[in-house]
Structure 1
Amino acid sequence: MEQQQPSSYAQGRLFPRLASLLVIHAHAVSIACCVAGLVGLLLLPPLAKTTHVSENALLPGSAKVTFSEADALNASAIANELQSILKDSTNRYMAFRSWLFHYFDLFGVDYYYQVFWPPDRSFSPLRFMSSSYGVEGWLAHNKSKYSQDLPHPGVNLVGIVRAPRGDGNEAIVLVTPFDLEKLANGDALTLGLSLVILELFTKAHWLAKDIIWLAADSQYGAYTAVDAWLKEYHQLASECATLQYRTSLISNLKSGNVFEGSSEWLDDVTIEDFKRAGAISAGFIVMFSREDDSVAFDSIQLKAEGSNGQMPNLDLINVVTTLATYRQGLLLNLDSFKGIKSWPGLNTIGDIVKHLGKFAGYVYPDWGFALSASEYVQGAATLLSSIWNQALGVPTGPHGAFRDYQLDAVTLEIFSGVNLKNTLSSHDLLKNTGRLLEGAIRSVNNLLEKFHHSVFLYFLVSPTKFVPISIYGIPFALLIITLPLQASALCSRVSSQDKSVADKESTTKINKVGPANWIRGVQIVTLVELWSIVTSLMPIPLSLFTLSSETKIILWTMLACATLCAALYAFSILFPLSNQLGSLLQSAILLDSDFVPIKALTLGFAAIFLGVMSAVNFAVALLGVLLVIPMCLCAQPISQVRKSILTPGGRSLTSLLSMAGIILTIFLSAPILLLSGIVVGGPLRTSLLQLWNWTESLWFWGSSLYLLGFLVYLPCSVLCLFVVFWCR
C-alpha cells in the first residue's frame, strides 16, 4: 500500500494539472478548438455515411409488386370521373362524399368522416410548445370572428381495410390531401391513385396490419387536417371528443346554429361514425405538386422534418429511397438552398475538399473520399437546408403531425415533367408511384415492432447520405468547450492579479475583483435575462389590439428598450451594493473590476443554455453556437483597445485583432443583425410585416428557435454590448 501511494497520488494530481495547463493556455486552445470545429463543420458533406436498411425484417423490394399498368389507367379514369362529377355538381362536398363512399361500399371497407376546425393562431403563453386548442376552444374564440368567412368546417374522409392476417392491433396510414375549392389535376390523380391502391390492399392475402386511408381536407392546410384526425384518433376521451360534447356539437351543426349551411351536408353524423384501427406503425403522405413548367423530369421530393427538428427513423427514409431509386427508377431529391450553389467561396471550398480527399487517400486509403467540387456544393446546400428546416422548428409537411405523437411518417411530393392532363404522358409516373407506395407499405407491414434499429438524430446530405450525431456532435463539442474554458481563464487571471496586487500593492494599479463585484455581476446578468423573458412575452398583449404588423414591431422594440432602461434604473436604486453602483447610470462607465465578472458569467450562462438547448433541438443549438460563441469570445472593453492603439507603438497585431473582434461582436449582436436583415429585406413596411409573421409562425409552432433568440442570443448580445461600450 505504501508503494502504491505515490503512484495514486500522482494519478490524482494528473487531471488538475491538465486542467491547469488548459486554463493557462486557454487562448491557444480556444483558437485551436474553434478552427477544428469550423473545419469539422465544413467537412460534414464528405464525412457523411451511406444509408442502409438496419432492420432486416423490412426487406424492401423483395416481394413482387401487384400494381400494374391497368391499375395506372384505372387511376387516371377515376380522376377524370371525379373532375366531371365536381364540375356538374352544385354541392361539391356532398357530391365528393357520395362519390367516395360509393367506392368504399364497392371495396367493402369501413368508412366514416370526421368534422374538424382549424386551431386558434392567437398568441397565448399557455399554448407555446403544447397542443393546439380543441374544437370547443376554437369555437369559443372564433365563432363570431369567422362566422361569415368560414361557411363550414373541414371534413376528413377515412377508409379502413381490415387485415385478414392481423389482429387489429397495428395499422399503416396513407394520407391524400385534397382541396375541393382548388382541385387541380394532380389532386384528382392522387385521389384516384390512392383509391386503386386501397382496392389492391382489400385483395392482399399477406396483409398483417390494417390500412387506413385518410382523405385530408386541406382547405385550412394539410397539416391541420391530419393533426385534427390524429388528435381524435389518440384522444377519444378528451374534452373535444366526449359523448356529451359531440352530441351537442352535432345537434348544433345539424340545426345550423354554428355555421350557416352546415345542415346541408352534415345530415347523418353520429358518435359511432369515428371508427378505429390498431396502433399506427408509420404514415405516408402522397401528393402531386402544382403544375410547374420548370420541372423537366419526373421526380419525387422527400420531406421528413417535423416540429422542433424531430425526424422519423432513418429506416423509413431508407425504404423509400431503396424502392424509388433502385426499383422504380424514380428521381428522388431533397429540399436544398439553391441560392448558395452559386457562391464562389463554396465552390472554392469544394475544390479544396476534393484535393484534400485525394491526399488523404494517398496517405491512408481508408481516409480518402472521392467527392468532386460539384458534389460537395450540392451536398452542402442540402445539408444546410436540412439543418435550417430542423432549426426552424416548423414541419415541412403533414408528416409533422405524426411526429408530434412519436410516429414515423414522410411526405412524398410528386413533380411531373409532363402535362398531367395528358393521361398517356402521366401513365408511367402513376405506375411507378403506385408501385413505390405498395412496396413501402408492404415493407412496413413486415415489421413486428416499432422502428428502432436505425438513428433518429441525423442531418440529410442526399437521399443516400446522412450525417449522424456521432459525427456532427464533435464540431459542436469543440466549439462549445471554448466558453467554459475562457470563463475559467478569466477567473484564473483575476486570481493571479489579486496575488500580484498583494505582493506589489505600491507599484501596481489593478482594481481588485472582490465579492461585491461578483454579486453585482450576477445581478446584472440575472436582470438582463429576466428582461429578455419579459421581452419574449410582449407580443401577447400586442396581439390583442387591432394594429398593423409594422406598428406592433415598432411598439415591441420601443417597449423593450424602455423596459431595459427602467430595469437598470430600478436596479441602481434597489441594490446599492457599493458607491460605484450609484455612478453606473450617471457616468455610463463601469470600472475594470466589473468587466471580468460580467464576461465570465455571460460565457458560463451561454454554455449552460446552449448545452440544454442541444437536448431540445440540436440544430438550434448548432446555429446558436455559430452566432453566440464568436460574439461572446471577442467581447472586450473598446476603451482598452482604443487606448492601446492610440499610444505610440501600440498598433500591434494583437491590438488590431482585438479591434476586429470588437467589430465582429457588434455586427453579430441581435440589434445590429436585426437591423441588417430589415434593410436587406427590401422596403421597410414589407420587412416589418415579414418579421412579425415570422414571429407569429415560430410562436404558433412552439419553435425552440424562439427560445434560443430570447433566452440566449438576445441577453448575450446585450451583455456583450454592455462589456464593449460601458466597461473600461
Structure 2
Amino acid sequence: MSGIESINARRRPIVRLGVFLISHSLIVSVICCIAAILALLLLPVLAKSTYVSENALMPGSANTMLSNQEVSEADRLVKDVNALSLESVDAGINIAKLIARYMADLGAEVCYHKFRRQQNQFNPLHFFLSTDPVVVQRNISCSSFGVNTVGVIRAPRGDGKEAIVLVTPYNSSRIDAAEASSLGIGYSIFSLLSQVTWLAKDIIWLAADSRFGVYAPVASWLKDYHTPLFSGLGQVNAGVCHESNDLLKLKDAMVSDTNISKIFTRAGTMAAALVVKVVDRHNEADEDTLSIFAEASNGQMPNLDLINIVNYLAVHRQGLRVKVEKFWSLLDSKFLNFVGETVELLGKVAKSLNPNWRFGMPVAEYVEGTATLASSLFNQALGVPTGPHGAFRDYQVDAITLEISPKGSLKSMGQRIDFLMRGGRLVEAVVWSVNNLLEKFHQSFFLYLLTSPSKFVSVGIYMIAFALLIAPLPIVAASLCSDANRRDSSLSKEGSSQPHASADEPNPTLKSWRWLHAAKSVFVIHFWSSLVTLLPHFISKMPSGTSASSLLIWLSLCILSLFLLYTILGSPFSHITTSRPQEWAILKSVTVSAAFIGLCLMSVINFATAEIGALLIVPMCLIACPLKLDLQDWSFRALIRAASNLTLVLIAFPPATFYLLKGGIEGSDSVSVGNFWNWLETLWAWNSATYLYIGMVHLPCWVLCLNILLHPR
C-alpha cells in the first residue's frame, strides 16, 4: 500500500464524508434544495395539535362567576360612553373622566397617564438599542396628546409582585359602539375581580386612548411603567410646550376628585397581558368570532400556552369561532390544490398499506393550513407587531390581542348584553388560568408557526427546511476552493515542466493573493451596502417628497455610490488576467461563504426572515455562473442555466421580490411604484431587523451574484 493510500485509509469517517460531499457538491445541492422545498410543503401535514403544557393553568376547571349584575353595570358604562361620544366638545377628556369615576367606584387605585403624539422616524442607531419604535416630534402641537386611564386592583391573596394587564383601546376623538363595548367588557371583568377573594395577582386595567393609533398609548405607558420615575400627570413629558386647556381641565378634575392618584400607579411584574378589541364586521358571520393576533416585533411570539388556553376556553366554554390570520388569495391557488391532492392520495396509499400510518389530510384542510402558515411566517419575517400586544413582548411579557366580532348588532340591548356576557366570561376564565401560575410562562414553545388556532409547527420541525437550504453553501464554497487549488497545482506543474515558461506566469507561492482580491470585492460590496442602508435616513429629511420620487432617488444614489466605490477602490474585475480563467469561481466561493454567514446570523435574530431569505438567496448563489461561458457553450444545458440565472437575479432583486409578493397576495391592482418605499419606511420605523437584513445581507449578495453573471471570463 502506498503512502497516500495509507493516509486515506486512516482518515476519520467524518473527514471521508466531508470529502465525499465536496466532490459531489452538485448532486448534494440539488438534493438538499429539493428536500427543503418538500419539507416546506409538508409543514401543514407535520403540524401537531396544540395542548396546554403547564398543568397549573387548568383552563376551564372553575365555573365563571360573571353575573348579570356586572354585565348590567358594564352596559350602563357603554351607554354613558356612547352618550358622551355625541358631544362635539371635550368628548375625549370627559370619557377619560367617566372611566376613572367608574374605576374609582369599585375601590381601585386610579391614575391618568398622559402621552404625546409621536412620529415615526428612521434612526439606524436605534436598532436593537431601544424598545420604543417611535420618537417624539419636536415641533408638535400642544393639543396633540392622549390620556390613558389606568386602574389597579390589589390582589387579596397576593404580595404585589405580579400583575395581569387588561388593555381596552378606544378612540377618544371618535369612539364607536364597538370600542364602547370593549370598554364594557373591560369594566365587567374589572368589577368582578374587585370582589373576588381568590385573586393572587394584581389586576391592571389600561383604557388606552388610541386617537393616535392603538400601539402608541400602550408603548408609552409601558415605557413609563418600567422607568424609575414617580411623576404626576403634569410632569410626564413636561417642558415640551405649555399645557392646553384640556389638560388643565383634567388636572382640575384630579384636584377635585380625591380618588384619583396624583402619581403614576404601578403594580408588580407583569405575568401576562390581554388586549381586548371589539370589531363590528356587520354580520359577516353566523356566530360570534374571535381573531387572535400574536406576532410581535422581529418575529417574537408569546408562549404558546397563552394561545392554547384562549382557544380552548373560547371554543369549549363560550362557543366562539376562533380564527387566525391567513392569506386568502392562496386558498384559490391551483398549485396548492394540486399539492393537497397529492398529499391526500399519498395518505390514502399509506393507510391502505398500514392502517396505523396517519399521513396526509384533506385537500381543503391542507390548503387552508398552508395559507395560515404562510401568513404566520410572513408576519414574523416582517418584524412588525400585528397589534398593541407587541409593545408588551418588547419587555418579555406574554401578550396577545383578542379581536371579538359579534354576529348581531351592538345597538340592540339584548344582543349587546349577551355579547358582553360571553366576552367577559372568556376574559375572566383566561385571567383565572393565568392567576394559577406560580411562575412565568415557560413550559411551552416560544418559536412556532400556526397552521390553525389548534395546530402548530414547532421550531424543531420548520428549521429542517432552513438547514437543508443553507447546507449546500459551505459545501459549494469548499468545492470551488478545492477546484481552484487543483487547477493552480496543475498549472504550476505545467509551467515548471516548460523550460521557457513565460515571465508573466504567476508564482504558485503567491496564489493566495487571488483570494484577497475576491475578499476585497466582497468587502467593497458590503461596505457599499452599509452606506445604502443609511441613505433613507437622509432621504426621509427631504421636504415634500413623494414615495415614488424617494424610491427613484434612493436607487439613483445606490448606483452612483457603487460606481464611485468601484472607481476609488477598484473594480472586482480589475485584477483579472488572461492566465487565470477561473477568477469568477473564487469570487463565487467567497460570496457563498458571506451569504452563509449572513443567513446564519439572521436566523438568530429572526428565523422567519432567514428562512424566506434563504429561499431567494440560496438558489441564486448556487446557480450563479458567468453568462459569457454559457453563451459561448451554446448548448441546451448552458442556455437553461443562463435563463435560470437571469430569472433568479430578477426575482431576488428586493423591489422586484416585493412587487411580485404584493401582487400575488393582494392583486395587481394594489401595486404602485411607491409601495416599496412605503414598506421600507414601515420596517425602519418599527426598527425591524428585516430592514437590516435586506440592506446588509440580501442586497450585497444580489450585487455579488450579478457581478459573477457579468464576469468577463
**Where in structure 2 are the equivalents of 1:272-671 lying within 5 Å?**
272-365=262-355, 367-504=357-494, 514-546=511-543, 547-572=545-570, 581=574, 592-645=581-634, 651-652=635-636, 654-670=637-653
Partner secondary structure for residue 113 of structure 1: strand
The alpha-carbon deviation at position 496 of structure 1 amounts to 2.4
Whether contact under 8 Å (2:327, 2:374) holds in the other structure is yes
**Deviation of residue 15 (structure 1)?**
1.4
| Farther-moved stretch of structure 1 (281-290 vs 265-274) | 265-274
* TM-fit CA distance, 1:199: 0.8
Name the counterpart of 1:163.
155
Q: Report the counterpart of residue 42 of structure 1 in structure 2.
A: 41
Alpha-carbon distance, 1:193 to partner: 1.8
Distance change in 2, residues 1:10/1:76 (3 Å): farther
In structure 1, C-alpha distance between the alignment counterparts of 2:540 and 2:98, rounded to whole Å:
43
Count of aligned residue pairs for this structure pair: 694
Quote the Cα distance in structure 1 between the aligned partners of 2:393 and 2:11: 47
Q: Name the CA distance, whole Å, in 2 between partners of 1:685 and 1:320.
A: 35
Task: Say whether the 8 Å CA contact 1:383–1:460 is kept in structure 2.
Answer: yes
> Which deviations, in whole Å up to 9, do the C-alpha atoms of 1:606-648 show, x marking residues without a partner?
0111011001000000011001001111110011111111xxx
Q: 1:265 to 1:242 in 2, by over 3 A?
A: closer
The offset of 1:457, in angstroms, is 0.5
Separation (CA, whole Å) in 1 of partners of 2:350 and 2:606: 33
Q: Which amino acid aligns with 1:204?
A: V
Report if aligned partners of 2:484, 2:582 keep a CA contact under 8 Å in 1. Answer: no
- Report the AA paired with residue 449 of structure 2: F
Residues 521, 601 of structure 1: 8 Å contact kept: yes
Equivalents in 1 of 2:187, 2:579: separation in Å? 73
Asked whether the equivalents of residues 85 and 175 of structure 2 are also in contact (C-alpha less than 8 Å), the reply is no
Is 1:714 equivalent to 2:706 in the alignment?
no
Indicate which of 185, 209, 212 corresponds to 1:217. Answer: 209
| CA positional deviation for 1:492 | 1.5
**Deviation of the 1:687 alpha carbon:** 2.3
- Cα distance change on mapping 1:383 and 1:105 into 2, 3 Å: same
Distance 1:556 1:702 in 2: 19
Residue 433 of structure 1: how far off its partner (Å):
1.3
Deviation at 1:727, TM superposition (A): 3.4
1:68/1:7 CA distance change after superposition, 3 Å: farther
- TM-score normalised over the length of structure 1: 0.89
Whole-Å separation in 1 of the counterparts to 2:104 and 2:436: 28
**2:680: which partner in 1?**
695
Q: Which amino acid aligns with 2:38?
A: V
In 1, Cα distance between equivalents of 2:661 and 2:439: 50
Secondary structure, aligned partner of 2:415: coil
- Secondary structure of 2:118's counterpart equals coil
Kept after mapping to 2: 8 A contact 1:635/1:665 = no
Q: Give the share of equivalent positions with the same residue, in percent.
A: 38
Return closer, same or farther for 1:445/1:417 CA change in 2, 3 Å cut-off: same
Distance 1:274 1:72, change over 3 A: same
Q: Amino acid of the residue matched to residue 643 of structure 2?
A: A
What SS is found at the alignment partner of 1:267? Answer: helix
1:154-194 CA-to-partner distances (Å, cap 9, x unmatched) read 11101111111111111100100011222111111111121
**Kindly tell me: are residues 610 and 427 of structure 1, through their superposed partners in 2, closer, same or farther at Cα, counting changes over 3 Å?**
same
| 1:68 correspondence with 2:67 | yes
1:700 Cα deviation after fit: 1.1
- How much has 1:293 moved relative to structure 2? 4.7
Please say which of residues 114-123 and 629-638 is displaced more in the overlay. Answer: 114-123
> Could you tell me how far apart the structure 2 residues matched to 1:672 and 1:545 are?
22
Distance 2:686 2:133 in 1: 16
Quick one: structure 1 residues 707 and 292, their matched pair in 2 at CA, closer, same or farther if it must change by over 3 Å?
A: farther
CA 1:120 to 1:82, structure 2 compared with 1: closer, same or farther past 3 Å?
A: closer
Residue aligned with 1:494, SS: helix
Could you tell me how far apart the structure 2 residues matched to 1:308 and 1:134 are? Answer: 12
Cα deviation for residue 249 of structure 1 reads 5.7
The aligned residue for residue 174 of structure 2 is 182
Q: Distance in 2 between matches of 1:406 and 1:696?
A: 25
In structure 2, what is the equivalent of residue 3 of structure 1? none
Deviates more, 1:38-47 or 1:706-715: 706-715
Retained in 1: the 8 A contact 2:133–2:687? no
Greater Cα offset, 684-693 or 540-549: 684-693
Contact 1:635/1:661 (8 A) holds in 2: no
| Structure 2 CA distance for aligned equivalents of residues 678 and 203 of structure 1 | 52
CA separation of 1:615/1:363 partners in 2, compared to 1, >3 Å: closer, same or farther?
Answer: farther
Task: Flag the 1:265–1:34 CA change in 2: closer, same or farther, 3 A.
Answer: same
Matching residue of 1:648: none
* Alpha-carbon distance between aligned partners in 1 of 2:603 and 2:431, rounded to the nearest angstrom: 34
Residue in 1 that maps onto 2:258: none
Pick one of 197, 201, 206 that aligns with 1:205. Answer: 197
- 1:131 aligns with 130
Distance 2:284 2:579 in 1: 60
SS in 1 for 2:372: helix
> TM-score, normalization: structure 2?
0.91
What secondary structure sits across from 1:532 in the alignment?
Answer: helix
Instruction: Please give the secondary structure, in 2, of the residue aligned with 1:397.
Output: coil
Name 1:103's counterpart in structure 2.
Answer: 102
Q: Deviations over 1:450-484 (max 9, x none)?
A: 00000100001111100001101111111110111
Q: Kindly state the Cα deviation for residue 263 of structure 1 after the two structures are TM-superposed.
A: 2.1
Please give the per-residue CA displacement for 1:71-95, whole angstroms capped at 9, x wherever unaligned.
4444333312221233257321332
Contact 2:133 2:686 in 1 (8 A): no
How many angstroms apart in 2 are the aligned matches of 1:426 and 1:370?
A: 43
Q: Which moved further from structure 2: 368-377 or 69-78? A: 69-78
In structure 2, runs of 5+ residues without a counterpart are 256-260
C-alpha separation between the residues in 1 aligned to 2:705 and 2:127? 29
Q: CA separation in 2, counterparts of 1:499 and 1:269?
A: 86
For residues 503 and 7 of structure 1, the distance between their equivalents in structure 2, rounded to whole angstroms, comes to 25
Ranges in structure 1 where 5+ consecutive residues have no aligned partner:
1-5, 646-650
Give the direction of change, closer, same or farther, for the CA distance of 1:7–1:169 in structure 2 (3 Å limit). farther
Partner AA of 1:175 in structure 2: V
CA distance in 1, matches of 2:330, 2:481: 42
**Partner SS state of residue 155, structure 1:** strand
Q: CA RMSD in A?
A: 3.1
CA distance in 1, matches of 2:446, 2:237: 41
Distance 1:11 1:181, change over 3 A: farther
Measured in 1, the distance between the counterparts of 2:667 and 2:427 equals: 43
What amino acid does structure 1 have at the position aligned with 2:463?
G
Aligned residue number for residue 690 of structure 2? 705
Match of 2:218 among 200, 215, 226: 226
After superposition, the C-alpha distances for 1:205-240 in whole angstroms (9 at most, x for unaligned) are 111111110000001111111111111111124xxx
Determine the C-alpha separation between the residues in 2 that align with 1:117 and 1:387.
34
Q: 1:449 to 1:9 in 2, by over 3 A?
A: farther
In 2, Cα distance between the equivalents of 1:685 and 1:554? 19
